Structure 1
Amino acid sequence: MKVAIVGCGYVGTRVAKNLRGKSDYTVTATTATPERVAQLEDVAQRVAVLKGNDKNAMAAVLQAQDAVLLCVGARNPHSYKESYLDTAKTLISVLQETPTVKQVIYTGTYSVYGDRQGELVNEDSPVAPANPNGEILAETERILLAASSPNLKVSILRLGGIYGPGRELVKIFRGFSGNTRPGAGEDVTNWVHADDVVGGLIFALENRLQGIYNLVGDVSLSSRELLDRIFEAHNLPKASWDGSPSVRPYNARVSNQKIKAAGYQFIHPEIREF
């Protein structure tokens, strides 16, 4: 199978490396940064420099591909439209002229559920983005799903916060140790290990999943519980909380039952870094 991975950052690079190790896959990796070409040549048979709004470059990448994994990320809060929405629009416009592609899988985020006051949500829950960038992410999903057809499966994986090698939780949150955080720490967090992001993507690819699937671990911890466990495990001072209203734009307990019912078995169902 020929697979193009559009966006080879933390997630895309790991997926490329995994697929290249399988004899029945040929991987094309893309990057917007020419300096990363040599690095990606170690994990993919073919590497292309691609900006998401470049239709000609996208068409060249997708030529004769069987599947596309859209693993883009924004460099900063001001680049969401370019990174997500513009890339999705370009991809869909090119797919209309690329009949070989039968599967598109997009790594989105559970943040599109917005602030649900910690309530349980699943894939049938309406999205409620809390800010303009959340609206961009929700619109990106809508554009991709609208391209579904009998000949093209489109799958949206709504990821939890990603942790794993190089993104250990203690590294992410060390700066909070011993400091006072806004709120009461009661907002709910959802995490997924990098191994399960790779595993979930490959599962969706090999099973030709269609539609929306949450890809988060089994356990949703409050911010206070998460930080307390991290800092206790690493003998660091705990964070304190000022009790002010929470400013976190998304707060929901996310169900992963749909993807498990489809047959995916989590490698790390519970957070493993405590």
Structure 2
Amino acid sequence: MVMCASTRGGGEEAYRNLYAHGTRNTLEAFSGTPVIFCSSTAVYGITDGRWITEEHNVYPSSGKNGLLIQAEQAVLAAGGTVVRLGALYGPGRCVLVSQYVTKGKALPGAMNRWLNYIHRDDAAAALHLLCTLREPPAGIYNLTDRTPMQMGEIYSYLSNLLGKPAPQPEPLPAEARRGFSNQRISCSRLLALGWEPLYPSFADGVHNVLEALEE
């Protein structure tokens, strides 16, 4: 069973209902069924740009991330698998690109901040691999592409590609929900299982996002 659900931008109470309570109820209802739980690399909460593996401690930067960790712990205690996804993107799904193309604006935050993306199709392929292995691997797996990119590097690439000026940096509001993390996530544990992303970096996969916007 793959537990891959979203609160659609909900607050802490939505996280508690979906992830803390929902995970507990699901594990009780389907006791003995191998479970893969989709979490987020946001739980690491690292801000100094270092490389992160599954062995690193987590530093939840919000109550919502703390609730994700509670759900992870329940799944791991039941012998399940936790997959921590980077920022999902693909056709029709990428705030960074849509903001830049339609408004010429950058996401709030420092331009030297490292971003960790995973293309929608590569995420689906990785989950399919985990589901079809003879023995479902327990433990934690990071699911990001091979090559983290700094935000300024991404905008420079898009600027050259589209012939548009790169956007000016946007300050990060004190109440911002995203934009504080600065970390490079390693996906080597998943690669060792035989998974290989079609889009090794955001620069490789962003073209079909742009094509979808043009359509």
TM > 0.5: yes
Aligned-residue identity in percent = 25
Opposite residue 129 of structure 1, the aligned amino acid is: P
In the alignment, structure 1 segments of 5+ residues that lack a partner are 1-67, 149-153
In structure 2, what is the equivalent of residue 241 of structure 1? Answer: 169
Q: Does 1:109 align with 2:36?
A: no
Q: Within 5 Å, which residues of 2 pair with 1:11-30? A: none
**Offset, 1:183:** 4.2
In structure 1, what is the equivalent of residue 122 of structure 2? Answer: 196
Quickly say closer, same or farther: Cα 1:162–1:183, change in 2 above 3 A.
Answer: closer
Q: Within 5 Å, which residues of 2 pair with 1:246-257? A: 248-257=179-188
Q: Within 5 Å, which residues of 2 pair with 1:128-207? A: 128-148=59-79, 154-168=80-94, 170-171=97-98, 173-174=100-101, 177=104, 179=105, 182-207=108-133
TM-score (norm 1): 0.65
Q: Within 5 Å, which residues of 2 pair with 1:257-272? A: 257-271=188-202, 272=204
**Offset, 1:171:** 2.4
- 2 CA distance for matches of 1:142 and 1:85? 10
Moved over 4 A (4+): 180-183, 242-247
In structure 1, what is the equivalent of residue 213 of structure 2? Answer: none
Q: Give deviations 1:51-84, integer Å, cap 9, x for gaps.
A: xxxxxxxxxxxxxxxxx11010112231222222
Native 8 Å contact 2:45 2:181 kept in 1 = yes
Higher relative helix content: 2
In structure 2, what is the equivalent of residue 69 of structure 1? Answer: 2
Quickly say closer, same or farther: Cα 1:251–1:94, change in 2 above 3 A.
Answer: same
Quickly say closer, same or farther: Cα 1:187–1:206, change in 2 above 3 A.
Answer: same
> What is the DSSP-based 3-state SS (H/G/I as helix, E as strand, rest coil) of the residue aligned with 2:25?
helix
Native 8 Å contact 1:74 1:84 kept in 2 = no
Q: Give deviations 1:168-197, integer Å, cap 9, x for gaps.
A: 5622654562x4665431111001111111
In the alignment, structure 2 segments of 5+ residues that lack a partner are 208-215
- 1 CA distance for matches of 2:19 and 2:163? 39
**Offset, 1:86:** 1.7
Opposite residue 115 of structure 1, the aligned amino acid is: I
Larger relative contact order, structure 1 or 2 (CA cutoff 8 Å, min sep 6): 2
Higher relative strand content: 1
- 2 CA distance for matches of 1:120 and 1:73? 27
- 2 CA distance for matches of 1:180 and 1:170? 9
> What is the DSSP-based 3-state SS (H/G/I as helix, E as strand, rest coil) of the residue aligned with 2:39?
strand
